A and B are shown apart, each in its own frame.
Chain A
Amino acid sequence: MEHAKLYERLADRLSNLEKFPRIKEEKSIAALMEEHGISRRDFMKWAAGVTAMLSLPSTFTPLMAQAAELTDRLPVIWLHMAECTGCSESLLRTDAPTIDSLIFDHISLEYHETLMVACGWQAEHNLESAIEKYKGKYILMVEGGIPAGSSEFFLTVGPHGQTGQASAKKASESAAAIFAIGSCSSFGGIQAAHPNPTNAQPLSKITNKPVINVPGCPPSEKNIVGNVLHYILFGTLPALDAYNRPKWAYGLRIHDLCERRGHFDAGEFVQEFGDAGAKKGFCLYKVGCKGPYTFNNCSRERFNQHTSWPVQAGHGCIGCSEPGFWDNMGPFEEPLGDKLYHTVYGDGADKTADKVGVALLTATAVGIAAHAAIAAVKGSGKTEE
Chain B
Amino acid sequence: MKITKEIIQRIEGEATLELEWEEQKISFARIKFFNYRGIEEILQKRPILDALALTPRVCGICSHSHAIASVHAIEACYKNAGELLHVSQKAKDIREIALNAEKIHNHIKWYFFTILPELRRISDPTYHGNAFKEKQWFHAQNAIMETLKMSAHFTGQWPHGSFVMAGGVTCDPLKSDLLSALGCLDAVIAFCEEHFYGMRLEELLGFDSALQVMSAPSALSHGIDEMLKHGFDRLGRSFDRFLALGESYMYEGSLKASKTTVLSADVKYVHESLEHTFFEDKHKGYTYSKSAMYKKSYWEVGPMARLMVAKEPLMRDFHRRFKDAALTRVVARAVECAHLLWRTKDLLEHLTLKEPSFIPPKKEIHTLSGEGMGVVEAPRGSLIHHVKVHQGMIQSYDIITPTVWNLGNGDTENPSTAQKALIGLHSFTKADFILKSFDVCSVCTTQ
Q: Are the chains A and B members of one assembly?
A: yes
Is A190 positioned at the interface, with any CB of B under 8 Å from its CB?
yes
Q: Which of A101, A191, A197, A315 contacts B141 (CB 8 A)?
A: A101
Would you call B172 and A113 a contact (CB within 8 A)?
no
User: Number of contact residues on B: which range applies?
Assistant: 35 or more
Is B432 positioned at the interface, with any CB of A under 8 Å from its CB?
yes
B122-165 Cβ-contact flags toward A at 8 Å (1 or 0): 00000111111101001001101100110011111111111101
Closest partner residue, chain A, to B165 (CB atom): A273
Is B338 positioned at the interface, with any CB of A under 8 Å from its CB?
no
Is A236 positioned at the interface, with any CB of B under 8 Å from its CB?
no
Would you call A115 and B42 a contact (CB within 8 A)?
no
With both chains docked as a complex, state the minimum distance between the C-beta of B395 and any C-beta of chain A, in angstroms: 15
Q: Which of A98, A121, A197, A311 contacts B38 (CB 8 A)?
A: A197
Segment at the B interface, from A132-140, A152-160, A249-257, A355-363: A152-160
> With A159-B5, A310-B156, A313-B171 as given contacts, are A274 and B10 in contact (CB-CB < 8 Å)?
no
> With A36-B138, A124-B7, A311-B156 as given contacts, are A273 and B360 in contact (CB-CB < 8 Å)?
yes
Give the complex CA separation of A283 and B243 in angstroms: 44
Would you call B156 and A191 a contact (CB within 8 A)?
no
With both chains docked as a complex, state the minimum distance between the C-beta of B150 and any C-beta of chain A, in angstroms: 9
Would you call A278 and B172 a contact (CB within 8 A)?
yes
Would you call A304 and B157 a contact (CB within 8 A)?
yes
Closest partner residue, chain B, to A330 (CB atom): B50
> With A84-B443, A315-B170, A331-B49 as given contacts, are A117 and B157 in contact (CB-CB < 8 Å)?
no
Is B57 positioned at the interface, with any CB of A under 8 Å from its CB?
yes
Closest partner residue, chain A, to B132 (CB atom): A105
Would you call A102 and B132 a contact (CB within 8 A)?
yes
Contacts of B201 in A (CB 8 A): none
Q: Which of B54, B128, B288, B359 contacts A117 (CB 8 A)?
A: B128
Would you call B46 and A86 a contact (CB within 8 A)?
no
Would you call B37 and A218 a contact (CB within 8 A)?
no
Is B8 positioned at the interface, with any CB of A under 8 Å from its CB?
yes
Contacts of A304 in B (CB 8 A): 145, 148-149, 152, 157-158
Is A8 positioned at the interface, with any CB of B under 8 Å from its CB?
no
In residues 20-76 of chain B, which contact A (Cβ within 8 Å)?
A: 34-39, 41-42, 46-47, 49-50, 52-54, 57-61, 63
Closest partner residue, chain A, to B37 (CB atom): A191
Would you call A83 and B443 a contact (CB within 8 A)?
yes
Contacts of B7 in A (CB 8 A): 119-121, 123-124, 157-159
Contacts of A191 in B (CB 8 A): 37-39, 42
Is A234 positioned at the interface, with any CB of B under 8 Å from its CB?
no
Would you call A274 and B159 a contact (CB within 8 A)?
no
Closest partner residue, chain B, to A158 (CB atom): B7
> With A118-B9, A310-B161 as given contacts, are A84 and B57 in contact (CB-CB < 8 Å)?
yes
Contacts of B117 in A (CB 8 A): 117
Segment at the B interface, from A10-18, A89-97, A224-232: A89-97
> With A118-B128, A119-B6 as given contacts, are A105 and B170 in contact (CB-CB < 8 Å)?
no
Is B358 positioned at the interface, with any CB of A under 8 Å from its CB?
yes
Closest partner residue, chain B, to A120 (CB atom): B6
Would you call A115 and B130 a contact (CB within 8 A)?
yes
Is B12 positioned at the interface, with any CB of A under 8 Å from its CB?
yes
Would you call A274 and B50 a contact (CB within 8 A)?
no
Would you call A104 and B132 a contact (CB within 8 A)?
yes
Contacts of B148 in A (CB 8 A): 93, 304
Contacts of A97 in B (CB 8 A): 141-142, 145
Is B278 positioned at the interface, with any CB of A under 8 Å from its CB?
yes
Mostly helix, strand, loop or mixed at chain B's interface?
mixed
A356-379 Cβ-contact flags toward B at 8 Å (1 or 0): 000000000000000000000000
Would you call A194 and B42 a contact (CB within 8 A)?
yes
Would you call B171 and A314 a contact (CB within 8 A)?
yes
Give the complex CA separation of A90 and B63 in angstroms: 12
Contacts of B168 in A (CB 8 A): 273-274
Closest partner residue, chain B, to A272 (CB atom): B360
Would you call A313 and B10 a contact (CB within 8 A)?
no
Would you call B278 and A312 a contact (CB within 8 A)?
no
Contacts of A147 in B (CB 8 A): 36
With both chains docked as a complex, state the minimum distance between the C-beta of B314 and any C-beta of chain A, in angstroms: 30
Would you call B37 and A190 a contact (CB within 8 A)?
yes
Would you call B10 and A331 a contact (CB within 8 A)?
no
Contacts of A109 in B (CB 8 A): 130
Closest partner residue, chain B, to A156 (CB atom): B34
Is B356 positioned at the interface, with any CB of A under 8 Å from its CB?
yes
Contacts of B157 in A (CB 8 A): 302-304, 308-310, 313
In residues 414-436 of chain B, which contact A (Cβ within 8 Å)?
A: 428, 432
Would you call A115 and B37 a contact (CB within 8 A)?
no
> With A84-B58, A190-B39, A197-B41 as given contacts, are A117 and B127 in contact (CB-CB < 8 Å)?
yes
B173-211 Cβ-contact flags toward A at 8 Å (1 or 0): 000000000000000000000000000000000000000
With both chains docked as a complex, state the minimum distance between the C-beta of A34 and any C-beta of chain B, in angstroms: 12
Give the complex CA separation of A355 and B264 in angstroms: 56
Is A279 positioned at the interface, with any CB of B under 8 Å from its CB?
yes
Closest partner residue, chain A, to B288 (CB atom): A153
Closest partner residue, chain A, to B163 (CB atom): A313
Contacts of B149 in A (CB 8 A): 304-305, 307
Q: Which of A114, A123, A305, A318 has the most chain B CB atoms closer than 10 A to its own CB?
A: A114
Would you call B10 and A115 a contact (CB within 8 A)?
yes
Is B406 positioned at the interface, with any CB of A under 8 Å from its CB?
no
Is B218 positioned at the interface, with any CB of A under 8 Å from its CB?
no
9 shortest interchain CB distances as A-B pairs:
A86-B60, A274-B358, A197-B38, A313-B156, A303-B157, A314-B170, A105-B132, A304-B152, A119-B9
Q: Can you report 22 residue pairs joining A to B where beta carbons are below 8 Å apart?
A: A84-B159, A85-B12, A86-B159, A88-B60, A89-B61, A93-B158, A109-B130, A113-B14, A117-B127, A119-B7, A124-B7, A153-B288, A155-B34, A190-B37, A190-B39, A218-B159, A273-B165, A273-B360, A303-B157, A314-B163, A314-B170, A315-B170
